Amino acid sequence: MIAPRRALREVFPYQPGKSIASVQRELGLKSVVKLASNENPLGPSPQAMAAYRKAEKSCGLYPEGASPELRAALAHFHQVEPESIIVGNGSDEVIRLLCEAFLDPEDEVVVSQYGFIRFKQQAAMMGARVIEVPMTDWTHDLALMASAASPRTRLIFIANPNNPTGTYNTQEEVAAMLAAVPKTALVVVDEAYFQYAAAVPGYPKSLPELVRAHDNLVVMRTFSKAYGLAGLRVGYGVADPELIGWLDRIRMPFNVNLPAQRACLSALKDAAFVKRAVTVNDAQRAVVARALGEMGFGVGESATNFVFVRCPLPGRELFKAMLRQGVIVRPLEEYGLPNHIRVSIGTAVQNKTLFAALKRVLGNKVGA
């Protein structure tokens, strides 16, 4: 058998949240609620879906490779030049492109202990040395991360707010980190949950301000969360045009499909939809935090559309028991957190289903 590259032998595949279809198949359940991948429980904006359906007529043709219309609209939205933007097949593709473009084997990458796991997985695939820095209060410690950067460091990854801990870093902290790291290190700030966090005190104004001021900063955003378009796989990065040029050179020729480009173009204009999604999330996150707290779970502060939850029983055990109740949550052993789970915020109805299922599971445990 032919072996793959050396760096790949140590790599484990990303474990996505379990799908509704797989739980239905495996457990023979009809009704399943998924609160495992931080999707928008309202689904996509109807306006975006109308644009998606309209694109049907053009599906016989290749899309434009660099998503020029979406790129121009995003440039206008963020007040940067179109050349400052790369559109990817999810922000996941942008993470991959960054690692492929900037990492030689043995280069150093700085990540946080419980930072979004894709960063270290992707860096490891390039044979890079991953340096994991401890968190402080479940939050990226940017001062410590900056001090871990050396002349060999090429990338420093931060998710702000972070998945799975739900915590965030302030403008002051990000600016101090940018001032402290060597200019040869590229700082990547992943703002996948930006819309949910934008109003929290001190949240950074990264676009356009910080990106304009620092040519070693990339900011990533996605259409998968507040825009409700996870299934279409569109995310993007914003940075200095020269840096974006390298990513553009190595992306797949037609990396974002045509209906996805059109739907995102329309979604970007539907600010009212995003506002509603954030309002519903804010209200329901408070309901979920209170209910779970009353049941004896430890619920962390969250600037996102999920909560990070410490459980009175092993997270895997709870996850399995909840599956049998038709509710999918996310265990976190891959992060080295066997006693935590992550729960996405659903609609009021979905959350009530969650609470009822948790009560049944906890009741069974007490009765056992």
Ligand X SMILES: Cc1ncc(COP(=O)(O)O)c(C=O)c1O
Residues 140-199 that bind ligand X (CB under 6 A): 159, 163, 190, 192
> Applying CB under 6 A, does 116 fall inside the site for ligand X?
yes
Interatomic CA distance for residues 211 and 170, integer angstroms: 15
Does position 261 interact with ligand X (CB under 6 A)? The reply is no
DSSP string, 51-110: HHHHGGGGTTSPPPTT-HHHHHHHHHHHTS-GGGEEEESSHHHHHHHHHHHH--TT-EEE
Q: Give the residue, chosen from 41, 63, 90, 346, that forms a contact with ligand X under the rule CB under 6 A.
A: 90
For residue 79, count CB atoms less than 10 angstroms from its CB and return exposed for 0-12, middle for 13-18, buried for 19 or more: exposed
Nearer to ligand X, 187 or 230 (CB): 230
Q: What is residue 1's three-state secondary structure?
A: coil
Nearer to ligand X, 90 or 326 (CB): 90
| DSSP sequence for 296-337 | T-EE---SSSEEEEE-SS-HHHHHHHHHHTTEE-EEEGGGTE
Told to check if 302 binds ligand X by CB under 6 A, we report no
Q: Distance between CA 266 and CA 52 in Å, rounded? A: 9
Minimum distance of ligand X from residue 198's CB (angstroms): 15
**Residue among 233 and 262 whose Cβ is closer to ligand X:** 233
Q: How many chain residues are in contact with ligand X, going by CB under 6 A?
A: 13
Of 231 and 338, nearer to ligand X (C-beta) is 231
Taking the complex as a whole, the smallest distance from the CB of residue 295 to ligand X amounts, in Å, to: 25
| Subset of residues 190 to 249 that bind ligand X, contact rule: CB under 6 A | 190, 192, 222, 224, 230, 235
Tell which one of 40, 91, 284, 305 touches ligand X (CB under 6 A): 91
Least distance CB 89 / ligand X (angstroms): 8
Closer residue to ligand X in complex, CB, 232/322: 232
Q: How far apart are CA 99 and CA 9, in angstroms?
A: 17
| Residue closer to ligand X, measured from CB, 93 or 362 | 93
Number of Cβ within 10 Å of residue 11's Cβ equals: 13
Residue 156: DSSP 8-state: E
Least gap, CB of 330 to ligand X (angstroms): 10
* Near ligand X by CB under 6 A: residue from 32, 71, 92, 247: 92
Whether the Cβ atoms of residue 323 and residue 18 lie closer than 8 Å to each other: yes
Q: Which stretch binds ligand X (CB under 6 A): 42-50, 52-60, 87-95, 346-354?
A: 87-95
Q: Which residue is nearest to ligand X (CB)?
A: 90
Q: Which is nearer to ligand X, 110 or 361 (CB)?
A: 110
Tokens of 304: 């996102």
- Burial status of residue 246 (CB atoms within 10 A of its CB: 0-12, 13-18, 19 or more): middle
| Residue among 115, 188, 113 nearest 153 (CA) | 188
Give the span between the Cα atoms of 131 and 154, in whole angstroms: 11
Between 299 and 303, name the residue whose CB sits nearer to ligand X: 303
Q: Which of 18, 38, 278, 326 binds ligand X (CB under 6 A)?
A: 38
Stretch that binds ligand X, among 89-97, 101-109, 279-287, 323-331 (CB under 6 A): 89-97
User: Residues 223, 235: contact at Cβ < 8 Å?
Assistant: yes
Binding segment (CB under 6 A) for ligand X, from list 88-96, 122-130, 195-203, 325-333: 88-96
List the structure tokens of 368: 């056992």
Residues in touch with ligand X (CB under 6 A): 38, 90-92, 116, 159, 163, 190, 192, 222, 224, 230, 235
